[in-house]
Amino acid sequence: MKINGTPYRTIWPTSDNAAVEIIDQTRLPHVFATLRLDTMRDAERAIKDMQVRGAPLIGVTAAYGVALAMRELASDAALANACKVLLAARPTAVNLRWGVEKMRVLLAPLPEDERVAAAWKEAARIADEDVAINAAIGRHGSDIIRAIHQKKGGTVNVLTHCNAGWLATVDWGTALAPIYTAFDAGIPLHVWVDETRPRNQGASLTAWELGQHGVPHTVIVDNAGGHLMQHGMVDMAIVGCDRVTARGDVCNKIGTYLKALAAHDNGVPFYVALPTPTIDWTLQDGVKEIPIEERAAEEVTHIAGLCDDGQVRTVQVTPQGSRAANYGFDVTPARLVSGLITERGVVKADSGAMRVLK
């Protein structure tokens, strides 16, 4: 995607494969800054602190994290340690496990002196694969948007939650890929962007990306979606996900479940876009089995924003002493999902239909 006319990915190796650069997402939308990761611990920190976030990008960053570790030391112990450290960085996105496992399986049988080159090559391949997958998701998902446009005749209003755009992947995004593809094809559309408290990935990242691409959008508070749906102002919802179980339960950013309930009650199609590596074939019941990340209370009690003097500052919004709980994700049962938009096509969220994706 382009930023002020310059094409960017969210992560890329330096030309000598000595380090990795990322876009620091904690500073958007007010400051566009890139950051250099020199060590595996830098990659771990970038994932933990959400300088990179979004399931596919977390997976790719972890793969590069293993490559960075191999540059430091390519022993069996160093490989095992890198995999362990990176796997523990964030719990919910299964892509993290997928990326680390791909690296471990490739590197473990190799002699130590071949590991560095092989690691950088594999991490780059995983990154390129993510881009190709998301472009395919865009094509399949845009067919749905086109069909709604043809039936309705006017602007298609799409609601999305959190950020599952190109910033959450290497490029294109998952939930936003169909939107970019449809928009580029000339289909009139408008996006309702859930702000997505507490970290505001919608208000700060999705709105920024859509703005950079020129896609008409409106930011809404998280609780507005149900009202809009009741008044016929949403034609479809598309969200991303961090993990999908073998029977189609979807784990995504906290608040997704409530949007799915509202969509169900109002007959609004609710789609989930995902690359197939986001499917965790080892799990069935998402509510019972998916570990949900709990993050620092400060993300709820405090909020950051641009002040009139041009400085970004953090302020407290809760009374001193009130406790806050910060659950990062929730699970939407498969029965509330109209379809899974994958790189291999749109599939029903149930174990029978999903078997073709294995």
| Per rule CB under 6 A, count of chain residues that contact ligand MRU | 18
Residue 202 binding ligand MRU, by CB under 6 A: no
Contact stretch for ligand MRU (CB under 6 A) within 108-116, 161-169, 187-195, 331-339: 161-169
Among candidate residues 244, 236, 198, 182, the one with its CA nearest the CA of residue 55: 244
Options 13, 59, 225, 328; binder of ligand MRU; rule CB under 6 A: 328
Instruction: Calculate the CA dihedral of residues 300, 36, 311, 204 and round it to 10 degrees.
Output: -50
Q: How far is the CB of 107 from ligand MRU (least distance, A)?
A: 26
Among candidate residues 133, 41, 33, the one with its CA nearest the CA of residue 78: 41
Contact stretch for ligand MRU (CB under 6 A) within 236-244, 282-290, 307-315, 342-350: 236-244
Contact stretch for ligand MRU (CB under 6 A) within 168-176, 184-192, 206-214, 279-287: 168-176
Residue 177 binding ligand MRU, by CB under 6 A: no
Options 241, 250, 300, 336; binder of ligand MRU; rule CB under 6 A: 241
H helices of 224-327, in order, are: 225-230, 256-265, 286-289, 298-301
What is the Cα–Cα distance from 318 to 67, expressed in whole angstroms?
42
Q: How far is the CB of 271 from ligand MRU (least distance, A)?
A: 13
Asked if 196 and 274 count as a contact pair (C-beta separation under 8 A), the reply is: no
- Give the CA count within 13 Å in the CB-facing half-sphere of 182: 29
Tokens 């298609």 correspond to 156
Which CB atom, from 130 or from 235, has the smaller least distance to ligand MRU? 130
Asked if 155 and 235 count as a contact pair (C-beta separation under 8 A), the reply is: no
Options 13, 56, 141, 248; binder of ligand MRU; rule CB under 6 A: 56
Residue 61 binding ligand MRU, by CB under 6 A: no
N- to C-terminal Cα separation, the chain: 30
Which CB atom, from 162 or from 337, has the smaller least distance to ligand MRU? 162
Options 22, 46, 55, 290; binder of ligand MRU; rule CB under 6 A: 55
* Residue 242 among the catalytic residues: yes
Which CB atom, from 115 or from 343, has the smaller least distance to ligand MRU? 343
Asked if 169 and 10 count as a contact pair (C-beta separation under 8 A), the reply is: yes
Among candidate residues 88, 178, 171, 92, the one with its CA nearest the CA of residue 127: 171
Asked if 333 and 341 count as a contact pair (C-beta separation under 8 A), the reply is: no
Q: Which residues pair with 331 in a beta bridge?
A: 251
Options 61, 157, 169, 200; binder of ligand MRU; rule CB under 6 A: 169
Query: Going by DSSP bridges, is the β-strand pair 243-245/279-280 parallel, antiparallel, or unpaired?
Result: parallel
What is the Cα–Cα distance from 95 to 287, expressed in whole angstroms?
18
Residue 253 binding ligand MRU, by CB under 6 A: yes
Q: How far is the CB of 185 from ligand MRU (least distance, A)?
A: 21
Tokens 């199609």 correspond to 269
Residues 130, 171, 235, 242: which is the catalytic one? 242
Contact stretch for ligand MRU (CB under 6 A) within 34-42, 47-55, 224-232, 307-315: 47-55
Count of residues for the chain? 358
Options 127, 168, 268, 336; binder of ligand MRU; rule CB under 6 A: 168
**What are the residues binding ligand MRU (CB under 6 A)?**
53-56, 93, 162, 164, 168-169, 173-174, 201, 240-242, 252-253, 328
Q: Which residues are catalytic?
A: 242
